[in-house]
């Protein structure tokens, strides 16, 4: 059995702690800071067993060196050919690893960065900065076409699959999503729910794949209602679905 706990970091990051309920083993995902992880381990009397990296950005990796100084034998899993040099166990598309007794597959998801990977199975997906609740990551290194294919791969996971992304961006994402699809009843209901959660200082995460298919404009770029609400400057012929996604991402960047 596995339990997943959010560890808050910076202003809006979550470091996910994956805890084996049968023992003290704990894996952490994208530890941009060390001290909140060390505090969690100390308070829960748990042992750091592994570190999982989705991509090289500093707010996902800066805490690793300090964690390794306390737990020097801890393996650091992450994408092959990543600019982050601290990875000790490299992973590529099609690889799999066991975390807390459960098998996770590696999906390569370029777009936000070129090295980005996600750790997924039918139950959980640790999506880093690729898929957010109501949104997706900015295109810092990859192309819109790459990101669209990455999101399609995640969208193919089962509806109940829980999505653990690494930022509490939900309300800002939903502001944009409501501009894109103002008549989406599922989106309206989810926005109300998310606002209630944040008013109580509670995470809106995890979300799940079924919910994201219903409310996330970046997974719904084939929807005619989305095309109808594009700003005039972005309207025009598109030859492929990824080009609609590209227009949405550009709109979001300027929103």
Catalytic residues: 55, 57, 59-60, 112, 129, 167
Instruction: Find out whether 116 is annotated in a ligand binding site.
Output: no
Stated as kind and residue range, the H or E segment containing 7 is strand 2-9
Instruction: Find out whether 129 is annotated in a ligand binding site.
Output: yes
Instruction: Find out whether 57 is annotated in a ligand binding site.
Output: yes
Residue 207's DSSP bridge partners are 163
Instruction: Find out whether 62 is annotated in a ligand binding site.
Output: no
Cβ-proximal residues to 111 (8 Å cutoff; 6+ apart), any chain: 130, 136, 137, 139, 142, 143, 144, 146, 147, 148, 150, 151
Tokens at 208, concatenated? 């799940």
Alpha-carbon gap, residue 113 to 31, rounded angstroms: 17
Alpha-carbon gap, residue 107 to 71, rounded angstroms: 27
Instruction: Find out whether 5 is annotated in a ligand binding site.
Output: no
Instruction: Find out whether 112 is annotated in a ligand binding site.
Output: yes
Instruction: Find out whether 229 is annotated in a ligand binding site.
Output: no
Tokens at 163, concatenated? 């999505």
What are the binding residues for Zn(2+)?
55, 57, 59-60, 112, 129, 167
Annotated binding site: 55, 57, 59-60, 112, 129, 167
């Amino acid at each position: 059995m596995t339990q997943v706990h959010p560890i808050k970091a910076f202003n809006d990051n979550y470091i996910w702690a994956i805890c084996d309920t049968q023992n003290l083993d704990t894996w952490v995902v994208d530890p941009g800071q060390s001290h909140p992880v060390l505090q969690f381990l100390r308070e829960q009397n748990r042992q750091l067993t592994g570190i999982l990296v989705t991509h090289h950005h500093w707010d996902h990796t800066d805490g690793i060196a300090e964690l390794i100084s306390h737990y020097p034998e801890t393996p650091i899993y992450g994408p092959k050919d990543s600019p982050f040099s601290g990875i000790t166990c490299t992973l590529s598309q099609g690889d799999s690893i066991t975390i807390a007794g459960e098998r996770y597959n590696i999906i390569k998801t370029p777009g936000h960065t070129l090295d980005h990977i996600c750790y997924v199975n039918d139950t959980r997906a640790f999506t880093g900065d690729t898929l957010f609740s109501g949104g997706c990551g900015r295109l810092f290194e990859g192309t819109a076409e790459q990101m669209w294919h990455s999101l399609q791969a995640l969208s193919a996971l089962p509806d109940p699959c829980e999505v653990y992304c690494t930022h509490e961006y939900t309300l800002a994402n939903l502001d944009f999503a409501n501009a894109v699809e103002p008549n989406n009843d599922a989106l309206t209901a989810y926005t109300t729910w998310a606002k209630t959660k944040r008013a109580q200082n509670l995470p809106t995460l995890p979300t799940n794949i079924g919910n994201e298919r219903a409310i996330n404009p970046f997974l719904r770029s084939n929807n005619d209602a989305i095309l109808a609400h594009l700003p005039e400057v972005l309207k025009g012929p598109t030859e492929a679905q990824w080009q609609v996604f590209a227009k949405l991402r550009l709109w979001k960047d300027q929103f």
